[in-house]
Chains A and B, each alone.
Chain A
Amino acid sequence: MENFKIDIDADGVALVTFDVPGRSMNTLTGSVIAEIPTLVEKIKSDDAIKGVVITSGKPSGFCAGADLGDMASGMLAGGGDLQKAFDTGWALNGAFRALETSGKPVAAAINGLALGGGLEFTLACHYRVVENDPKIQLGLPEIKVGLFPGGGGTQRLTRLIGVQNALMQMAEGKSWRPNDAKGAGVVHEVVEKGQSVEAAKAWIKNGGKAVQPWDDKGFKIPGGGPYHPAGAQVFIMGNAILRKQSYGNYPAVLNMMKAVYEGVQVPIEAGLRIETRYFIKTLMTPQAQAMIRSLFLSKQELDKGAVRPAGVPKSDPKKVTVIGAGMMGAGIAYVQAMAGIETILIDQSQEAADKGKQYAVDLIQKRVSRGHMTQDKADAVLGLITATTDYDLIKGSDLVIEAVFENREIKAAVTKNAEAQLAKGAVFGSNTSTLPITGLAEASVRPEDFIGIHFFSPVDKMMLVEIIMGEKTGDEALAKALDYVLKIKKTPIVVNDSRGFYTSRCFSTFLMEGMAMLEEGYSPVLIDNVGRMTGMPRGPLEMHDDVALDLSYKIAKQTREDLGDKYVPTEGEQIVATMVEQGRYGRKNGKGFYDYDQKPKVIWPGLAELAPTTKGAEFGEGPEALAAVDELKTRLLYRQAVEVARCWEEGVIDDPREGDLGAILGWGFAPWTGGPITFIDQTGLKAFVAKADELTAKYGDRFKVPQLLRDMAEKNETFYGRFAPEKKAA
């Protein structure tokens, strides 16, 4: 065995050290899965072995779960051969089942994180000891990439802690920290760092039983199964809550529930077979495949700097100045200090700068009070942030990021003053979300070092950073900006300069399609409900309120002025203008499409006069109503996807991974699609163009696809096929 090392001690306890060669982290590779039966055979047949303790030989953790890329291709390797897919899928469940029925007690000494298949591995052990390290997470996060636990998680966790608790954890993909895991009944014992092997051995020496609770006679699911009076309620409510949260967009959620419902009614082994069947069914859905590719594989690649110019040596930003201590600047200061970067936070007054630092103080204090950070570490992080008004302190910075008011003159002055302090090779980044970078770079004396670094709000929660190349921005500045983004553990995408860049430009089409529907006479309630049903985080009207209607109005006005005769008005613009003229700016002044002076917010009654409802209320109970709703959903998704395609044709984006992930992480584009590029690819270029043409005929030129898509449809191409990232690199 290359992955497991066995040392039998004097008491007959076999210490199995799990250590996948050549990897920094243990994952359930094909080789690991193939070796577990060998391991079990050894445990069973070697009379010297009285019991087993499994631990990790990696400092990085116990096991991070399956290798999703390998797994998906492995299970689906047989094409349409479902029996083959089942047999491949069953390998893991069969191996875990063999482990827990070997007849000898097996304890897991969890000395690092155990996620997904990693946690499932430990659930197939009879006893779990975890070390008390705040860095250790135990959880089943599969749902986040369009899957669900398929290594016995749906069967063992439900049988261990009850259906309700297990479902809640699996449906949200949340993790436990060691003590919470103990409280939840997922692990048996929490011990100090470095003590897990010893504690696990002690359990075996004290007569630990080699039988799982669910293999005990008379075992009953905690809380009851689906036809137990209390258990029934859990399933009935569970179905409702999962539909409420998923809008029926995620096959993984439904299939997970099916695996639980059907699985807990039968003995564990049958339950595991049912789980494997639903797991494969899920894996075969376009949604799962899209999500695995974008949210797991592409994200990993971008997080490792896949789009970084290869020729530039790696840099390590040690000191970074943030100018402007408003909400964005304060958020940026916080995340980079957390990443260990010396941070100068500058504003016009000391008071404003201090207020910006206070934001970090509050967030860090919260972490300390929750036990997620020690006071020493907190002090160290806060010590990295200097709040000041003094531009002299910029000296020595590897990077300056300005997050000042969206005004060309102000930004120009800041650029000039900051550059005066910067050494050669240091980069100046602008966190503008609206002003073209090429124009802002005109204020710079070295535009090759000037770049857009667009954060999203709130900075500590939003994982994307959109890097914008100005016309003159050099590869070196790009590489340094990317090194910075990777250091603060955000996901970068690199786009070319355009009005609204990539994310803001495409996101605005979602808002404007909602405005267009409003003008057509659809009820505001319907529009927002349908918006959420597409898988977007909120509906277009409420989201427009959040963004601020006056901001939208100002951008449209600026665009009109800049483009002059070339300006093409957008459907729905008029209603935004009217709202702003009536002093309705959105959530920020409590008056938008909704009134915010009560909770929950209610549609502003005056909207009925501005945009009288003539459609939607007549929707009946028949299937034609569902079709009408589907048409609205289609419009919202297509409108965004068409704009993404235009961005591609104009060269704003040129990597499908960035197009997809930028959309999901940047503006919340329906994650079930895997992103707009994958949405187009999976719809099929021909079908997409045909539907877009139909929408163009019905609703206007805003659905007109660029020539690129017609060419691709003609040749039966896809974005991921024609513009495969590997090809681009080569």
Chain B
Amino acid sequence: MADAYIYDAVRTPRGKGKKDGSLHEITALSLAGQVLEALRDRNGLDTGKVDDVILGVVSPVGEQGSDIARTAVLAAGYDQRTAGFQLNRFCASGLEAVNVAAAKVKSGEAGMAIGGGVEAMSRVPMGSDGGAWPTDPSSAFPTYFVPQGVSADMIATKYGFTRDDVDAYAVESHKRAARSWAEGRFNKSVVPTKNQLGLVQLDRDETVRPNTDMQTLAGLNASFEMMGGMGFDAVINQRYPEVAAVRHVHTPGNSSGIVDGAAGVLIGTKEMGEALGLKPRARILGGASIGSEPSIMLTGPEPVTRKLLAKLGMEPGDIDLYELNEAFAAVVLRYMQALDIPHDKINVCGGAIAMGHPLGATGAMILGTVLDELERSGKSTALATLCIGGGMGTATVIERV
């Protein structure tokens, strides 16, 4: 099998996912298109050699519906022979798109492919695609369905993280994100988003608050307390009867933000890279996905990490840098606890608590971030992973070349 190499990774800045967010007036198609254009233009890419573009989208309806990947390929002016498809692995869609692109490259199906994702959350609200899991009793009942926030609060309760623990983690996320921006650590990947006139609409992540402290965070109300009290706490308690009662610790301040954004990673064989005159930045050692207990939902990163590392013959200690999407602070704290990962090896540039989580795009974004950071710090191996709705985990391990 061929090796899959990463040649480039780009992302948009993340705009606040509300009507007053800077990217609200930019379409999802434009966000995806600008990423594809950047990958083409930065690398002088002959797009006729790109076999496929795979974009993750979590709410693939409206302007994000009907295979936005192919639509973006055409709108971005790629060669008409470049195919495109959209996939959905919820929050890990962007990383799954990378893994699928890498798999196509490794298998010989593609010489060059792009994996990425897009989510204009201010324009296509989360959940607007419906879905049977929570709604159809045939799936909700047997799986003890609860909304993610209640799951995250159960993680904190079951594994012993207090409100202070999760808030402290959130403060650090903002601190790290602010420092990374100040030091220009994102410069390599972030491509400013342009508006209809071609003027820069946004060039920085919009939701970072460098001055966030414990006191401000302590003032926020728990987001899922009411929802939990209406019945969901009792449901997840039936799955975890050893827990007295769910403690609601997550707030908007220690959970990932709702934002707009897009990202893409250019992946290809060594031969195709050489033919196109590109320099490989990293090798994709492997990817994996796994299912985990669906009610607590967000603990998949641990088992998928163990699964992937075992496949690669590696130990957790062999990984220099970890990126785990900061969906909720307790998700990361539980992962660090389970795998004994020190805080200075994980999410070192901050994460979604500070910068936001554009659902379909995040996986590709954090992979690009950790690649930049490996290069900046001179380190070698990194693992990116995300927790996923429905109880899943997806992970990717890369090695700098």
Contact = CB atoms under 8 A, between A and B. Distances in A.
Interface of A: 226-227, 232, 235-237, 239-244, 247-248, 254, 257-258, 261, 523, 525-526, 529-530, 533, 603, 616-617, 619, 621-622, 629
B135 A235 contact: yes
Contacts of B241: 525-526, 529-530, 533, 629
B244 A261 contact: no
B136 A240 contact: no
B303 to A, nearest CB: 9
Q: Identify whether the interface residues of A are mostly helix, strand, loop, or mixed.
A: helix
Contacts of A523: 242
Nearest to A528: B241
A529 to B, nearest CB: 4
A280 B240 CA distance: 32
Interface in B34-92: none
B293 A622 contact: yes
Contacts of A258: 136-138
Given A523-B242, A526-B241, A243 B135 contact: no
B317 interface: no
A504 B135 CA distance: 43
B235 A244 contact: yes
A227 B136 CA distance: 10
A242 B234 CA distance: 11
A239 B134 contact: yes
Nearest to A622: B293
A167 to B, nearest CB: 11
B231 interface: yes
Contacts of A226: 135-136
A237 B244 contact: no
A227 B234 CA distance: 25
A616 B241 CA distance: 9
Given A529-B241, A621-B296, A254 B137 contact: yes
Contacts of B243: 525
B27 interface: no
Contacts of A243: 140-141, 144, 231, 234-235, 238
Nearest to B391: A621
Given A227-B130, A239-B134, A242-B141, 4 more contacts: A226-B135, A232-B135, A242-B137, A525-B244
Given A226-B136, A258-B138, A622-B293, A533 B240 contact: no
A235 B141 CA distance: 11
Contacts of B138: 258, 261
A629 B235 CA distance: 15
Contact of A239 (B130, B137, B238, B244): B137
B182 interface: no
Closest 4 interchain pairs by CB? A529-B241, A240-B231, A239-B140, A244-B234
Interface in B214-242: 230-232, 234-235, 237-238, 240-242
Contacts of B231: 237, 240-241, 243-244
A239 B141 contact: yes
Contacts of B237: 529
A232 B130 contact: yes
B238 A603 contact: no
B5 interface: no
Nearest to A244: B234
Contacts of A235: 134-137
Nearest to A241: B231
B144 A621 contact: no
Interface in B149-206: none
B141 A254 contact: yes
B9 to A, nearest CB: 33
A31 B18 CA distance: 63
Contacts of B293: 621-622
Interface string B116-130: 000000000000001
Contact of A248 (B134, B141, B244): B141
Nearest to B140: A239
Contacts of A236: 134-135, 140, 145
B343 to A, nearest CB: 24
Nearest to A618: B242
A635 B140 CA distance: 28
A261 B136 contact: yes
A236 B130 CA distance: 11
6 contacts: A235-B134, A237-B231, A258-B138, A261-B137, A525-B244, A529-B237
A617 B146 contact: no
A646 B293 CA distance: 41
A261 B230 contact: no
A526 B242 contact: yes
Given A621-B292, A621-B299, A525 B242 contact: yes
A520 to B, nearest CB: 14
Contacts of B130: 227, 232
Nearest to A602: B244
Contacts of B244: 525, 603
B242 to A, nearest CB: 5
Interface string B240-258: 1111100000000000000
A237 B237 CA distance: 16
A593 B142 CA distance: 32
Contacts of B146: 240
Nearest to A530: B241
A58 B137 CA distance: 40
A1 to B, nearest CB: 40
A226 B130 CA distance: 9
Given A240-B145, A240-B230, A244-B231, A619 B135 contact: no
Contact of A616 (B134, B242, B299): B242
Nearest to B142: A248
A621 B159 CA distance: 12
Nearest to A235: B135
Contacts of A530: 241
B226 to A, nearest CB: 12
Contacts of B230: 237, 240-241
Contacts of B145: 236, 239-240
Contacts of B296: 621
Contacts of A257: 137, 141
Contacts of A619: 240, 242
A530 B244 CA distance: 11
Contact of B135 (A227, A254, A603): A227
A523 B232 CA distance: 22
A523 B240 CA distance: 13
Contacts of B137: 235, 239, 242, 254, 257-258, 261
A533 B238 contact: yes
Nearest to A226: B135
A118 B60 CA distance: 47
Contacts of A240: 140, 145-146, 230-232, 234-235
Nearest to A619: B242
Contacts of A244: 231, 234-235, 238
A206 to B, nearest CB: 42
Contacts of A622: 293
Contacts of A525: 241-244
A526 B241 CA distance: 5
Contacts of A247: 238
B206 to A, nearest CB: 27
Contacts of B142: 248
Contacts of B234: 240, 243-244
A529 B138 CA distance: 24
A523 B245 CA distance: 13
Nearest to A225: B135
A40 B244 CA distance: 58
Contacts of B140: 236, 239-240, 243
A539 to B, nearest CB: 10
Contacts of A529: 237-238, 241-242
A232 B128 CA distance: 11
A242 B137 CA distance: 10
Contacts of A227: 130, 135
A617 B144 CA distance: 20
A258 B145 CA distance: 15
